[in-house]
Amino acid sequence: MGHAETTFREQVAPRQISMDEYWMPFTPNRDFKHDPKMVVRAEGMYLWSDQGAKILDGSSGLFCVNAGHGRREIADAVGAQLRELDFIAPFTRGHPKQFELATRVAELTPGDLNRIFFVNSGSEAVDTAMKVALAY
């Protein structure tokens, strides 16, 4: 099996990177390695390729950037929270902001849907919903 590399063009200087170690999800990896489409930065709803092309990010909401890229106010809020407390396992300890956010979300939900359980993915949400449905 051959070693795949590409030239990764950045604003400062081009450099070679290995393409062998990272296996991209839902991607024909051989095709990608043959014609890599590298993104080097993003702002708002746009991406920029390593070739300098400005691209509308039509899939930004797919995982985690539905509010857009490079939002200073979001980065500042995340930084402040990371400096205060980056993580606490929610099993036997809590943080006031967990409860504040749950209250805000509950105020937005209809009727008596006022119990909030935070998860990281749709899979966890469905799994939890099934457990709740079976329990009640």
Task: Give pLDDT tens digits for 62-96.
Answer: 777 888 999 999 999 999 999 999 999 888 999 99
Position 106 in a domain: yes
Position 38 in a domain: no
Q: How far apart are CA 66 and CA 68, in angstroms?
A: 5
- Mean pLDDT value across the chain: 88
Domain that holds residue 130: 87-135
Task: Give pLDDT tens digits for 29-67.
Answer: 999 999 999 999 999 999 999 999 999 998 876 777 888
The residue assigned the tokens 């396992």 is 89
Q: How many domains does the chain have?
A: 1
Position 21 in a domain: no
